[in-house]
Structure 1
């Protein structure tokens, strides 16, 4: 017995001695939508990056989870998300019936989505992928991190300056000892009027998606009856038009995504999703999904619809579920519902620190009757603050996916894969800043990070009427991020688009408070000039002269020459007319550069 123990200890020592230590600037764990985008952005920002994914595919729930019909962020094609959308549309361009409209709901086969993401990562320098690679330990190493992985049967250690947890479950942050919150937050805790009076320990259901293929009329592709099958479990589906329901999840190439609240969505709890219980819970849930498919084939008569082999799993189901909620890390900032609904009317100005945008309608899926249905007002597009990704008291640790620092009510939108791909790019930009400048997340320069994000076609504000192709996109985004010109909500049913309205005019009341906040001498100018209700072209030029100490006459003559030739403004140069929001944004950005004013993670101006 003693001899065996000594041999074991020697083997352990031998393994540890010869384990490779790999150094990198940024380590991203989790090849989810956000993780893939984060790794791409880090590498494009020219810092050495490693992406570790325990499975064989990139994309997380939108590929490996089969959640491949995406309607969120259709009108906000920010950065890498917009790039992915374009690749998918281009791939299916000649596929019969595929909607290639710029803002159509995005539908793709999971395997194809994963392949597109893999091709995107393969074309980038500074990025190393480690697929099928589990991780076992996570620990702090000075201001950086040390993670143990198992690669091709060998234990290796990765040392990174910055670590991003892009898992859907927050497992990396949990290993690091990060505290979490779960379930419905109380109104007293968050200040959200729509939150319940008391906290409720309930999380949203998971859905184990299925992708079925129509093998043609007369074909019998009935699967074997799964263990524990009970037709009574699907009683609620009897009498429904099952064929119509299946066809509603249409994908290219005669495939269909099944994602039904009444069918393959299941109650989940924090205990069931705990790593020690997760495998068993997943096994039981997969059997229920197979039971649903068997029910459709036998009771529903849809024998020609069955699973495909694209996932490479024994049962033909996606390897992971579509998880809406689990646990949320405690970040430097917690994003609350008011940051979405009334971003300009709060003491904190988190929109000024934005690193992502979203507009997904909040989902509410609860088998557990304790989970109340929240009466959300029309849900607007929103900005995601930088501090929601930065873990509090854990330098250089960032979190995305469901582990972001939000409330339950906010997570109901931010968890969507299309939103998370945008969030991931923001996380990658933050990580790259820390790595490039050899600093920590406690010393972030918000404007530098945002400037890098804009360089890579990212959105800071969710303005749907000023696309990336607009020549003034960057100026409008930067001025919007100062609050000088605020977004305007346009309600359409349950949603509200946020518009910039570039051709409408500027009122003095909307710009005066922020001008005075940013420029210390502004109150002198307002007292002297006393602009009218509408801010004019002449008012802005006069203010520019005041702040920049430039000669008013020279400035006016210069701009008169450049008005249409350089700036391509469509309205005539006239000092007396009200200035448009586009003209104000472009000229303010050019001559006054309010975006250069430093802000902290709460959006407060720093002198």
Structure 2
């Protein structure tokens, strides 16, 4: 440790190197601001790389809708690396299964222009150890690195670490594990009160290659029999609804597919090279101790479990041909993992410390609603995602949960602490948003974490532009709208509309109105808003009400409903939203307010 820390300063300082951190950094730089990001891993990418969970967990509409322009660029970049092959691994868990090292190349390429221009600095191998506070703000974050101490300073600080590491360092109220069903009445929460140790399992993922002939397997690892029997190792998956399915090992003849093709990341029939898969299965899910409370023990025990499960696959797993047991032709593959031993550098993290809140996002907010296409609406939405609430076994032996959700949003209120005295410039930028354990299990997947990080980065950039704090923006109705408009102009959807994408002329106006109650009953029943069809009386009334609501946030007169017979929904939305967008744009860029006065920040320097 050096006597004096090396200091890096940018407009926004980001702790973390995963997908949330990457999306946040891209949003900051895209908005014309500078960023610095640092995390303990040796490489960029989080889930995709250091954790080896490269196949993307996504929703059914992802090929055409339901993500931001930047996330789509990431997906397109992956396919381009394989010459346009749609699913290079052919795995059935995702529409894009690919090798972690390919994901790392794509992500690095996406950040490269900002790095080369000096707008972004990336530091690997840096563990946060101290948060320095000055009054109501975080002044800097200190990191431990192999070379000594590093100090990152920024006007806004984003915690996009894998386990919410800045929350305890900053003295922010946080929670981990189960809130308990008594807290919010969530059907899939654990019965009773809170249990902080009932954290979701983590996994040391293994990268395997299937060779033509067998390899020498060697002796069982220490504790093998105990781990095999306690887990137990099998090719069967089960959930809390007593549903279970046993998978063949290689035979893909029975839907949904085989164990091997579940997360296969390289299919030689499509792209040549070795037959490779990453192993993220019940067999190597570690739920014997919590990662946040006991990180060293948990990492070590999860690694031992992964080694034991791989040994079982090679020696005792049932063979499809029933000719003995085990597949000795499998081997750990450093050339796939990018690590010396073929195992993930860090555990796959399913649960983070989360911002504590009196009104977090809950399972009830995300649940399907009869006759409606979307989950409960948030008028402060800053992104969208969709995945079921996928809880793996939790510490204490609680079974898996697979709870349905409807297409949902990311609310701004979930990104900042609501407690008086908490740092006003700290933003949650990954799995640490203010959501319950059940709800966070729906946000935690790749595109969900990206959406949270992108919103956090945009929030940070707007706060810097306006010389205010993220907390003040979250509490200011007009500033919220200005942030939403900035996100929409950057190609980030804030409301679910599968036929109103970023390339549509009415994307910004229509999405903004839709997010504030502008969908009539018919459009609430489906994800399509049919923007180019003529709008009827009910559609115009809903759009007009939303425009009036938004205008009031800027102290503007409600726009008069246009009298245009046969006008399309999109044309009406653009006409009604025009004065609101003008006001929001001016508020978002203080140097060009054109008479629109920004509300002063209670944290502005005097």
TM-score w.r.t. the length of structure 2 is 0.77
Which residue does 2:241 correspond to in 1? none
CA contact (8 A) 1:242 1:296 kept: no
Residue pairs, 1:322-401, within 5 angstroms: 322-331=348-357, 334-341=360-367, 351-366=378-393, 371=398, 376-377=403-404, 379-392=405-418, 393-401=422-430
| 1:319-370 per-position Cα deviation (integer Å, ceiling 9, x unaligned) | 112221242112586222343347999xx98622111110112213226676
State the Cα deviation string for residues 32-59 of structure 1 (Å, max 9, x = none). 1101111121122122211102112111
Higher helix share: 1
Structure 2 counterpart of 1:416, from 445, 454, 474: 445
1:34 is the counterpart of 2:20? yes
Matched, 1:242 2:237: no
1:150–1:104 Cα change, 3 Å: closer
Q: CA deviation at 1:386?
A: 0.9
Contact 1:33/1:424, CA 8 A, preserved across alignment: yes
**Helix, strand or coil for the counterpart of 1:213?**
strand
1:273 corresponding residue in structure 2:
292
Instruction: State the shift of 1:480 in Å.
Output: 1.3
Aligned equivalents of 2:248, 2:328: Cα separation in 1: 15
Counterpart contact for 1:45–1:432, Cα < 8 Å = yes
CA displacement at 1:505 relative to structure 2: 5.9
Match of 2:472 among 414, 433, 443: 443
What is the aligned partner in structure 2 of residue 204 from structure 1?
200
The secondary structure found in structure 1 opposite 2:471 is helix
Larger deviation, residues 83-92 vs 103-112: 103-112
The partner residue of 2:121 within 121, 128, 150 is: 128
Matches within 5 A, 1:163-562: 163-192=157-186, 195=189, 198-201=192-195, 202-214=198-210, 216-220=211-215, 222=217, 225-230=220-225, 231-233=228-230, 236-237=233-234, 241-243=248-250, 244-252=258-266, 253=273, 254-261=275-282, 263-267=283-287, 269-270=289-290, 272-274=291-293, 277-300=294-317, 301-310=326-335, 311-331=337-357, 334-341=360-367, 351-366=378-393, 371=398, 376-377=403-404, 379-392=405-418, 393-444=422-473, 445-485=479-519, 498-502=527-531, 506=535, 508=537, 512=541, 515-516=544-545, 519=548
Alpha-carbon offset, residue 283 of structure 1? 0.9
Displacement of 1:290 in angstroms is 0.8
Evaluate the alpha carbon distance shift between residue 287 and residue 391 of structure 1 in structure 2; reply closer, same or farther with a 3 A threshold. same
Q: Does 1:588 align with 2:584?
A: no
- For the Cα contact (< 8 Å) 2:5–2:150, is it kept in 1? yes
How many residues of Structure 1 are paired with residues of Structure 2 in the alignment? 526
SS of the counterpart of 2:493? coil
- The answer to whether the 8 Å contact 1:27/1:49 transfers is yes
Provide the secondary structure at the position in 2 that maps to 1:475. Answer: helix
What SS class does the counterpart of residue 277 from structure 2 fall into? Answer: strand
CA gap 1:436/1:403 in 2 versus in 1, 3 angstroms: same
Deviation at 1:429, TM superposition (A): 0.3
How far apart are the structure 1 equivalents of 2:401 and 2:221? Answer: 36
Cα separation, partners in 2 of 1:332 and 1:84, compared to 1, 3 Å: farther
Q: CA RMSD in A?
A: 3.7
The Cα offsets for residues 461-517 of structure 1, whole Å up to 9 and x where unpaired, read as 1222323333332222122122112697899xxxxx733233566564566477457
CA distance in 1, matches of 2:550, 2:68: 36
Checking the alignment, whether the CA contact within 8 Å between 2:69 and 2:502 is kept in structure 1 is: no
Distance 1:107 1:100, change over 3 A: closer
- Give runs of ≥4 in structure 1 deviating > 6 Å: 342-345, 487-491
Question: Conserved in 1, the CA contact under 8 Å of 2:547 and 2:576?
Answer: no
User: In the alignment, which residue of structure 1 is the partner of 2:255?
Assistant: none
Whole-Å separation in 2 of the counterparts to 1:209 and 1:68: 10
CA, structure 1 residues 337+486, in 2 after alignment: closer, same or farther (shift >3 Å)?
farther
Q: Deviations over 1:240-280 (max 9, x none)?
A: 6333312322112521121212x11121544x532xx3112
**How far did residue 224 of structure 1 move?**
5.8
Task: Supply the distance in 1 between the matched residues of 2:530 and 2:288 (Cα, whole angstroms).
Answer: 43
- Whole-Å Cα distance in 2 between the matches of residues 136 and 326 of structure 1? 17
Deviations 1:414-433 (A, max 9, x none): 01122111211111000111
2:101 corresponding residue in structure 1:
111
**2:394–2:400 CA contact under 8 A, matched in 1:** no
CA pair 236-426 structure 1, distance change in 2 beyond 3 A: same
**Which residue number in structure 2 is paired with residue 541 of structure 1?**
none
Aligned 8 A contact 1:447 1:595 in 2: no
What CA distance in whole angstroms lies between the structure 1 residues aligned with 2:458 and 2:163?
22
**Equivalent residue for 1:8?**
none
Match of 1:64 among 38, 50, 69: 50
Structure 2 unaligned regions, length at least 5: 236-245, 251-257, 267-272, 318-325, 474-478, 552-556, 588-598, 600-606
Aligned mates of 1:471, 1:521 — CA distance in 2: 20
Structure 1 counterpart of 2:29: 43
Shift in alpha-carbon separation, 1:477–1:489, aligned structure 2, 3 A = closer
State whether residues 260 and 277 of structure 2, in contact with CA within 8 Å, keep that contact through their aligned partners in structure 1. yes
Q: Which moved more, 1:478-487 or 1:458-467?
A: 478-487
> Is the alpha carbon distance of 1:514 and 1:505 closer, same or farther for their aligned partners in structure 2, counting shifts above 3 Å?
closer
The aligned residue for residue 54 of structure 1 is 40
CA distance in 1 between counterparts of 2:364 and 2:534 reads 27
How does the TM-score come out when normalised to structure 1? 0.77
CA distance in 2, matches of 1:259, 1:232: 18
Q: How does 1:83-122 map to 2 (within 5 A)?
A: 83-93=73-83, 98=88, 105-122=95-112
Q: Give me the whole-angstrom Cα distance separating, in 2, the residues matched to 1:414 and 1:349.
A: 15
